[in-house]
Structures are given as structure tokens and as C-alpha cells.
Amino acid sequence: MSNVVIVGAQWGDEGKGKIVDIYTERAGLVVRYQGGHNAGHTVVIGDETFILHLIPSGILHTGKKCVIGNGVVVSPEALVHEMDELSRRGIELEGRLFISERAQVIMPYHVALDQAREERKGDKAIGTTGRGIGPAYEDKVARTGIRVGDLKRPEYFRERLAAALEYKNFILTGFFGKKPFSEQAVFDTTMAMAERFAGCIVNAADLIQREVAAGTDVLFEGAQGSHLDIDHGTYPFVTSSSTTAGGASTGSGVGPRAIDHVIGISKAYTTRVGGGPFPTELDGDLGDRIREAGGEYGATTGRPRRCGWFDAVVVRQSARVNGLTGLVVTKLDVLDGFDPIRVCVGYSRGEEKYDLVPSGLPELVGCRPLYEELPGWSSSTAGLKAWEDLPDEARSYVRKLEELTGVPVVIVSTGQERSEYIELSDPWK
């Protein structure tokens, strides 16, 4: 038995969906433990592409059980839409999809507040997706949130809703100049959607713990990346949840001693969406070339991702914060034809040198990358499935990333198709 956590080692969009899909074949239960529908996991199976925002991608495998944990913030509208789309495509959900009764609900006023704030900040906006994620987590911490289990108690839900709207409408109208929400309309709409997934609501922590006790292999699936973590990320340009491996325990109700392996996912280069510091960002033609070669556009928003060279400082820190036992390098094929290839091995700021990411925003913004150049390769790596088939320079590049991050590479992904990868080590064995 092995319980494995998958985390993003950069700023998200590292290709976790594909790796989760691969590892799901070896697990009996897949748990999503944080985030909301602001993150998308893209999985390509044959000629079909699935983009999942809330439901774990394990749902695409017959017989696998999937849990949306208590650390997730759930949009009823997004959840119902995703359930309908999967059902339309022949994916069976009954008896396979479970939602924690302790998960927080994203309400319409959370979305309105999120968008109003970003609009007011103008060019100083953080770059959220405007889907209400942050405000929902704020209410969770403020103890004013509504939980999924509350939707099974209509009278109690109405009480919580009325109390929330008294304050939310005051802020929306008085400070932002937006329209107020009708309590009755929000109540009716939410209850109608809740009926669609009421049968999936369970005590998820108990379900997961029973599966672990029974010897089931469990895969814990995170969203976004370690450097968007509310505590350990590039604050304040972060998300509102614990995206690191510790979030797997708090977001599912399973103790940390149940975790056997933590696998970090990193692209062979670096990308970031939205605002925030990005030391290795390439602004010119080279960045555009990586973006087009890698199809670097957000799965959720379609926004173009900012692109740059691999940043070993970022991944090295992720290795420490998460306790990584293995590293997956995705999109190696995107670097085909780039020569030379640069890797950031450290930062400099004046006379000061950094091996880890500075916690202060002013210090990080002032950092400049220290690069080491490596030879590129001209032959294609796309679709290769054996380590010995990679060009010598590509193998040397992967080994250099191991050396710089201090983490052994367990998988190298060579294409978007789920079958296009090279496995060097299996955490399930």
C-alpha cells in the first residue's frame, strides 16, 4: 500500500492532470484536497480532451472512487456543469463521486466581490480568475462561510445566508457601487443545484480513513503550485489555500503519517499566469516561442501564460517545503530545437546571492537570475517512451535538474498524450 501526494513545484499549470491520470491507474481512491474551479487539469485520452476543474481526474477511470475534500471551495454551478458534461460523455458518477460535507460553498456574492475588487485595483490587480475563490476562503477563516453539508439543512442554510447577505450587500452597494443580491433568489437557485449532488455529500474524512485502513492505495491531488501557497508562496501574489503537501492532510482529514510519497510536478521550463514576480521571465521572441511551442494558455481562462527558463531556485524551495521524494519533468519536448538552454541556478540582488526564494516581495522583485548554459538538442523527443532513446543532451539536461533541485526525477513527459512519458521510478512499488 502507498499513499501519494501530487503537488505543483512551480506556479501551477505544470501538467499535474496528466500525471494524476497516469497514477490513478495504480490507486483505488483519488482525493482533491484544496483550491476551487479556478484551476483546470487537462487530460488527453486518445482523441478526447477532458478539462476538469473540481472533480478529480480519476473519475475518467472505471471503478475509481473520487473525493472532493474539505479543503476545496465548491461552486455548485461549476460542479453541476462538470457532472453534466461527464455524464454526457458517458462517465458514470453514481457511487464514485463523493463531496465532503465540510467543504466550503462559493456563493454568488463571492464572485461579485472578487470581480469588484480586481476591477477597483486596476493595474495593481493580483490577477485572480474572478471566480470567488478568495472571498470564499476569507469567509471560511472568518467563520461566516456556508459549508456543503449546510445545504442539506434548508432552514439552517437560510439563516447562514441571511446573515452573510446583510454584510455582503452592504459592501457591494456601499463601497463598490454594485447591485445587491436577493436572499430568496440566491436561496432558491442554490437549493435547486444542491439537489443534483445531495447524494454525493458524505463525511469524507471518515471515508478516506476507512479506505486507508483497508489498504487502498490513495492518490491526493492538489491544484495550482507550491509558489501560490498562501503561506509559502510569493505573497501577496498567491492563492487562498494551502497548495503544498501539508494541505493534503488539512484538506482531507488524513494525518501526515499516512503519506508515503510526495511527487512534485515541474515543467522543463517555467510559466506563470497573472501578476507577481517571475525572475526568469522571457519578454521577447524567445518567450513567445516557448509559449507557442508549449501551447501555454490557461485551461480555465485561456489567458496566455508568461514563460521563462527553468528556475532551480523555485523548485529547490518547493522540494524543501513539500518534502519531495520524486520529481516529474513535463513538456521536455517543448525545448526541442532550443540551443543553448539556460537554467537559473541562483539569484543575485546587488552584492547579495540567494539559493532560495526571498520571502519579502521587494527583495524578490529586485532579484536577477544567475544562469548556467547547457547544450540543447536538435532531434525530436516528442512521444519518446524510453530513457535510452532521448538525445544525450536531453538526458544530461534532466540529470542537471536533479542535481540542482536535489530530487530524483521519476517521470519525464514527452508529449500531451497520456501514453507519452518515460518512467524512471514508480512510487507505488
Active site residues: 13, 41
Query: Rounded to an integer, what distance in angstroms lies between the CA atom of residue 395 and that of residue 414?
Result: 12
Nearest to 124 by CA among 369, 283, 361: 361
Residues 95 and 84 sit within 8 Å (Cβ to Cβ): no
Q: What is the grid cell recorded at 229?
A: 501557497
Q: What is the grid cell recorded at 298?
A: 490557461
E strands, 273-335, where? 306-308, 310-311, 326-330
Beta pairing class for 341-349 and 310-311: parallel
Long-range contacts of 22-25 (CB under 8 A, 24+ apart): 22/411, 22/418, 22/421, 23/219, 23/263, 23/427, 23/428, 24/56, 24/57, 24/58, 24/60, 24/61, 24/64, 24/219, 25/61
Query: Rounded to an integer, what distance in angstroms lies between the CA atom of residue 282 and that of residue 315?
Result: 18
Phi (first) and psi of residue 334, to 5 degrees = -65, -25
- Read off the amino acid at residue 201: I
Query: Rounded to an integer, what distance in angstroms lies between the CA atom of residue 307 and that of residue 220?
Result: 28
Please provide the DSSP assignment of 402-421 as one string.
Answer: HHHHT--EEEEE-SSSTT-E
Phi (first) and psi of residue 142, to 5 degrees = -80, -5
Nearest to 68 by CA among 202, 225, 183: 202
Nearest to 275 by CA among 242, 303, 314, 247: 303
Query: Rounded to an integer, what distance in angstroms lies between the CA atom of residue 80 and that of residue 194?
Result: 9
Query: Rounded to an integer, what distance in angstroms lies between the CA atom of residue 25 and that of residue 43?
Result: 14
Query: Rounded to an integer, what distance in angstroms lies between the CA atom of residue 346 and that of residue 311?
Result: 8
Residues 253 and 69 sit within 8 Å (Cβ to Cβ): yes
Residues 44 and 157 sit within 8 Å (Cβ to Cβ): no
The helices-and-strands tally (H runs, E runs) of the chain is 12, 20
